C-alpha cells in the first residue's frame, strides 16, 4: 500500500468514520499539532555555537633514527624539535553545536562537550549575526555550559519544567544538524529518567525527535513553547539518528 493511496483513501475514510460517531469533530481535531507558532516565536533565540581548540601535532616518527643518512636529517629538522621530539606547528580543530539564549543581556546555554577545551567561541544567530562568546562556567558531569556574549535586548526562550512531561507528548527540537542551521524536528516523549551506560547522574528524557551531530546543546520544546530539555546525546550504530535521542531535563 503506497503513500498516495493512504493519503487519498485511508485517511479520509478514517475521518469519515470519526465524523459519523461524533459529528461535532472538525478536521483540526484529528490532524497533527501545529508547531509553527512555537517555531516562529523561539527560532530567533536559538543559536549556532562554533568552538575552536588548538591541537598540537603529535610525532609520527622519531627523528633520531639510527643510521639515518645525513642527507635526510634537514628534512626532519624542519618538522621536529630535536630536544622535545615533537613536530613543530599545530592545528585548530573546529567543533559546532547549538544553544539558546536565556537572558536579554546575552547568557546562552549549550552542552559542555561542544565547547570543552576551546580557545575561541562564537555564536551565530538566526539573522546570521555573529558574536564572540566567552565561557562563564561549565559542568562536565551534567554536560552543560553557560556562555556570555556582549549584547543587549536579545530574544530569549522561556524555561519550563520537565516534571509534567507525559509519555507520548509532542516535543520539538531546533538546532543545526550537520551544519544546516536552525533546523526543526519533532517527535514524542518516549521515556523519562533514563540512565545511560556508565552514567547515572542525569535522568535523561528519551525522545524519537531526530537529533544529529550539530543538535547538541539545542533546546527541546513542548507545545506551549517552553524549553523542557537540552538535546545532548543519541543512541546510534551508524553515527546518525536511529530513533533514540536523549535530552537533559529542564
**Residues of 10-46 as b/e, b for ≥16 C-beta within 10 angstroms?**
eeeeeeeeeeeeeeeeeeeeeeeeebeebbeebebbb
Q: Residues with Cβ < 8 Å from 200, sequence gap 6 or more?
A: none
Q: Is 77 a catalytic residue?
A: no
Closest CA to 239 of 219, 212, 215, 216: 212
DSSP state of 5: H
Q: Is 118 a catalytic residue?
A: no
Q: Which of 95, 113, 162, 181 is catalytic?
A: 113
Q: Residue 205 in contact with residue 189, Cβ under 8 Å?
A: yes
Q: Is 50 a catalytic residue?
A: no
Q: Which of 143, 181, 208, 226 is catalytic?
A: 143
Q: Which of 95, 98, 118, 216 is catalytic?
A: 216
Return the active site residues: 113, 143, 216
Amino acid at each position: 500500500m503506497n503513500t498516495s493511496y493512504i493519503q487519498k483513501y485511508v485517511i479520509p475514510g478514517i475521518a469519515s468514520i470519526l465524523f459519523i460517531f461524533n459529528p461535532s469533530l472538525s478536521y483540526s481535531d484529528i490532524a497533527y499539532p501545529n508547531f509553527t507558532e512555537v517555531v516562529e516565536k523561539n527560532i530567533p533565540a536559538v543559536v549556532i555555537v562554533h568552538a575552536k581548540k588548538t591541537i598540537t601535532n603529535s610525532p609520527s616518527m622519531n627523528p633520531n633514527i639510527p643510521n639515518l643518512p645525513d642527507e635526510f636529517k634537514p628534512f626532519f629538522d624542519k618538522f621536529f624539535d630535536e630536544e622535545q621530539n615533537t613536530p613543530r606547528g599545530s592545528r585548530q580543530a573546529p567543533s559546532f553545536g547549538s544553544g539558546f539564549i536565556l537572558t536579554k543581556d546575552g547568557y546562552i546555554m549549550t552542552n559542555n562537550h561542544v565547547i570543552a577545551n576551546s580557545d575561541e567561541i562564537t555564536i551565530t544567530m538566526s539573522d546570521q549575526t555573529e558574536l564572540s562568546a566567552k565561557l562563564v562556567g561549565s559542568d562536565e558531569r551534567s554536560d552543560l555550559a553557560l556562555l556570555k556574549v556582549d549584547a543587549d535586548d536579545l530574544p530569549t526562550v522561556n524555561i519550563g519544567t520537565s516534571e509534567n512531561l507525559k509519555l507520548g507528548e509532542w516535543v520539538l527540537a531546533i538546532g543545526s544538524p550537520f551544519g544546516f542551521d536552525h533546523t526543526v524536528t519533532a517527535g514524542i516523549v518516549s521515556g523519562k529518567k533514563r540512565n545511560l551506560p556508565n552514567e547515572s547522574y542525569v535522568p535523561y528524557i528519551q525522545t524519537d525527535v531526530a537529533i544529529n551531530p550539530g543538535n547538541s546543546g539545542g533546546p527541546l520544546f513542548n507545545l506551549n513553547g517552553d524549553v523542557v530539555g537540552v538535546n545532548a546525546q543519541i543512541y546510534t550504530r551508524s553515527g546518525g539518528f536511529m530513533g533514540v535521542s536523549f535530552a537533559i531535563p529542564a
